Amino acid sequence: MEWTSATGRKIVLQEGDITRVAADAIVNAANTALAGGGGVDGAIHRAGGAEIMRELDAIRRETGHCATGSAVATSAGKLPAKYVFHAVGPVYRGGRHGEPDLLASCYRQCLRMAEEREVRTISFPAISTGVYGYPLEEAAAIALREVKAHLEQPRTTVQQVIFVLFGRQAYEVYAASLDK
């Protein structure tokens, strides 16, 4: 499924494995320790190779961690991309602890980093919807709102955003939200 902005920029939804989708930048749903993990994070590290973790080790030595709602960039190792943006989404605790703002911040930070690197294509997973428990419907609405707003700006290097969704349910929820 696709959405096209008035400026001709696109959002594409697809079900599948984000590590197999070619894009200039791939977004990783990381943890604050930048230490790897399960889900998307584990898949990106396995497919991308040790180079990504070595770069994260250097970032951790310098900064200690990555705050929730923020992101850091590394190279993409063996992935079909130039960069991996490691975004730390919020753990969902009922939605009354700043989670919507923190999740929106993840998308804005990644899009800002994309602009800084003149990225034309970027792929996102459904940040925070796995073990962090963010409800899919709410997460989809936030993600799509932030990305649409960015793509509708008069000047942006980003021409295509691909949401690579794990499982049919996630795809259907994002498709319904994109249609609104």
Q: Phi then psi for 84, rounded to 5 degrees?
A: -120, 125
Domain 2-179 has CATH 3.40.220.10: yes
Q: What is the mean pLDDT of residues 46-61?
A: 97
Angstrom distance (rounded) from CA 20 to CA 9: 22
Q: Which candidate in 41, 57, 101, 179 is catalytic?
A: 41
Confidence tier at 155 by pLDDT (50, 70, 90): very high
Q: Is the pLDDT of residue 18 over 90?
A: yes
Comparing CA positions, the residue from 90, 38, 30 lying closest to residue 55 is 30
pLDDT interval class at 180 (50, 70, 90): confident
* Average per-residue pLDDT for the chain: 97
> Does residue 12 have a pLDDT over 90?
yes
Domain locations along the chain: 2-179
Which residue, 177, 103, 104, 164, is CA-closest to 134?
A: 103
The SS3 assignment for 53 reads: helix
Residue reference for tokens 């993409």: 76
pLDDT per residue as tens digits for the range 58-93: 999 999 999 999 999 999 999 999 999 999 999 999
41 is catalytic: yes
Asked whether the beta carbons of 62 and 98 are under 8 A apart, the reply is no
**29 — pLDDT class (breaks 50, 70, 90):** very high
The reported pTM is: 0.97
Residue at 36: amino acid letter: G
